[in-house]
Structure 1
Amino acid sequence: MYLCDMHTHTIASGHGTSCTIADMAKKAHEKGLTLLGITDHGPGTLGAGTPSYFRSLAHAPRKRCGIRVCYGVELNITDFSGNLDLEDEILEGLDYAIASMHRPNLRPGGQTANTLAYIQAMKHPAVRMIGHCDDVKYPVDYDELTAAAREYGIVMEINNSSLSPEGYRGDTRANNRMLLEGCLRNRVPVLLSSDSHGTAHIGDFTYARAMVQEMNYPEELILNDKPEQVLKLLGT
């Protein structure tokens, strides 16, 4: 049974949901999760969390509705040097960061530039996961990317929202296969993530689970049923 969902968004992400952290924790508990990650978008996203919001998370309760809550951020990679959109002083107070590419913050480059940007972002000590690097608009070299993930101790995400028929990142199935093949070669652990904006999809890994099953990806490298290992890898 999968117990962790480490990529979710609340009202602070500014994407139309009215759900609070408490709402998210309650739904996660109802879904049988024991560990929930709140990772609202960094301030580079229009209408998203402000620096003061992320600063306040350092004082938020770790147990809500009977589950463990981790407080992180989905950072925007802002250039091909891997720079990020939240200050180090604030990142030090968070449990972890996901680094992702979003078109409003960084227009897609070529494969070499995109890959380098992800790898440079991996070097930041707060970054513990790379988010939805399956986006067809941002081609990458998955061999190079997963080798770097192994070197820097990064967890790679299999994003359920990307794989959904309603996903907006294009047909990501081929990219996710290449990502998983690279992770397997380099023995890189993965987390299946809902990327739920609000409570509707918390703990929903329908398409991501189907992908790892199709690929026969080893269960020991899928972290969703290993909350203690997730906490250790994220450094919380």
Structure 2
Amino acid sequence: MSTQTEPLRLACDTHTHTIFSRHAYSTIEENVRTAAERGIELLGSTDHFSDMLYLQRDIRNYQYYNNYRVWPREWHGVKLLHGAEADIVNLHGDLYGADDVFATSIDGTPVEPISMQDYVFRRCDYVVASVHNKWFARNATIGQATDMYVCALEHPKVLTLGHSGRSGIRYDIDTVLEAARVNHKLIEINEYSFTHVEKSHEMCLEILERCAETNTPIAVNTDSHISAEIGDFRYVPKLLEEMHFPRELIATRSADAFLDALRAAHIAPAEECEPIPGL
């Protein structure tokens, strides 16, 4: 039985990227093998769903997501979840791909019209919602930015608000954390934000402190873009221990805890994919 005196161990990494993201460098199996070697119980693969990938919003460019069904749910002893990191694209909190509607499949066969977002999300177990191109929010008020993040958290497929401390957009933290609690969603504490982006430290720490004070659940992830970084938590666990962060609020402390968080958020399971063991 775990006690607070034992070293904190994070057994999940639920925001990671494969070579599909184009500025990442490893295959899904390379990521899974590294996760297994490092004792990670559950890996979530969340490639970018964003304008960062392709100039043309063509459904064929995103068929990668449509074939998630072929991924083993248990691979090299690691539970494997399908996801996407979807860009928040405006101050309304809308996510990428909602307005792009297609009426043909990847081979040109006529199908019922479907948005590119629905086409991708229906195969996902969950979505991480993040801001990357913050140009649209350059003149946003704190209130507008707050509403943006609240709306993103209310999307039925979103489980995690990704690296909001690194995006450089100021918002009312307590209001967003309240929305996360009400909707049973997670606030991400991103290892990359601490180890690679020094200018984001102050805001990330403020978010983390308020999560502890308001009992808001978090997901600690590497945001790895190469297999060598999968499960490589060098900074955040030490920080959590130093501040005596409540372990029961860390959804990525174990596979069971993360699946409990997914269940609590009432997110519809991925269509036509094998059920998630334990969910």
TM-score scaled to structure 2, two decimals? Answer: 0.77
Partner of 1:73: 84
1:136-175 alignment to 2 at 5 Å?
137-164=168-195, 166-167=196-197, 170-175=198-203
| CA–CA separation in structure 1 for the residues paired with 2:224 and 2:29 | 15
| CA–CA separation in structure 2 for the residues paired with 1:136 and 1:96 | 21
Q: What SS is found at the alignment partner of 2:15?
A: strand
Partner of 1:111: 142
Find out whether 1:222 has 2:250 as its counterpart.
Answer: yes
Q: For 2:63, which of 52, 55, 59 is the aligned residue? A: 52
Q: What SS is found at the alignment partner of 2:23?
A: coil
Percent identity of paired positions between Structure 1 and Structure 2: 32
Find out whether 1:38 has 2:45 as its counterpart.
Answer: yes
8 A Cα contact 2:85 2:127, kept in partner = yes
Partner of 1:181: 209
8 A Cα contact 1:58 1:94, kept in partner = no
CA-atom RMSD, angstroms?
2.0
Cα drift, residue 65 of structure 1: 1.4
Q: Which amino acid aligns with 2:11?
A: L
| CA–CA separation in structure 1 for the residues paired with 2:143 and 2:16 | 29
| CA–CA separation in structure 2 for the residues paired with 1:161 and 1:187 | 23
Cα drift, residue 211 of structure 1: 2.4
Find out whether 1:11 has 2:22 as its counterpart.
Answer: no
CA deviation string 1:74-130 (max 9, x = no partner)? 000011111111412431221000000002674443322222111101111100000
- The 1:29–1:127 alpha-carbon spacing in structure 2 relative to 1, beyond 3 Å, is same
Q: For 2:225, which of 169, 187, 197 is the aligned residue? A: 197
| CA–CA separation in structure 2 for the residues paired with 1:8 and 1:106 | 25
8 A Cα contact 1:177 1:215, kept in partner = no
8 A Cα contact 1:7 1:194, kept in partner = yes
Q: For 1:25, which of 28, 32, 53 is the aligned residue? A: 32
Partner of 2:114: none
| CA–CA separation in structure 2 for the residues paired with 1:105 and 1:68 | 37
| CA–CA separation in structure 2 for the residues paired with 1:54 and 1:105 | 27
Q: What SS is found at the alignment partner of 1:51?
A: helix
**Structure 2: segments with no counterpart, 5+ residues:** 1-8, 98-116, 264-278
TM-score scaled to structure 1, two decimals? Answer: 0.90
- The 1:105–1:197 alpha-carbon spacing in structure 2 relative to 1, beyond 3 Å, is farther
Mean Cα deviation higher: 176-185 or 66-75: 176-185
Find out whether 1:100 has 2:136 as its counterpart.
Answer: no
Number of residue pairs aligned between Structure 1 and Structure 2: 232
Q: Which amino acid aligns with 1:82?
A: G
Mean Cα deviation higher: 183-192 or 116-125: 183-192
Q: What SS is found at the alignment partner of 2:229?
A: coil
Cα drift, residue 194 of structure 1: 0.4
1:82-101 alignment to 2 at 5 Å?
82-86=93-97, 87-101=117-131
Q: Which amino acid aligns with 2:82?
A: Y
| CA–CA separation in structure 1 for the residues paired with 2:134 and 2:252 | 30
Instruction: Return the index of the structure with the highest Cα Rg.
Output: 2
Cα drift, residue 4 of structure 1: 0.5
8 A Cα contact 2:132 2:167, kept in partner = no
- The 1:34–1:46 alpha-carbon spacing in structure 2 relative to 1, beyond 3 Å, is same
Find out whether 1:2 has 2:10 as its counterpart.
Answer: yes
Q: Which amino acid aligns with 1:43?
A: S
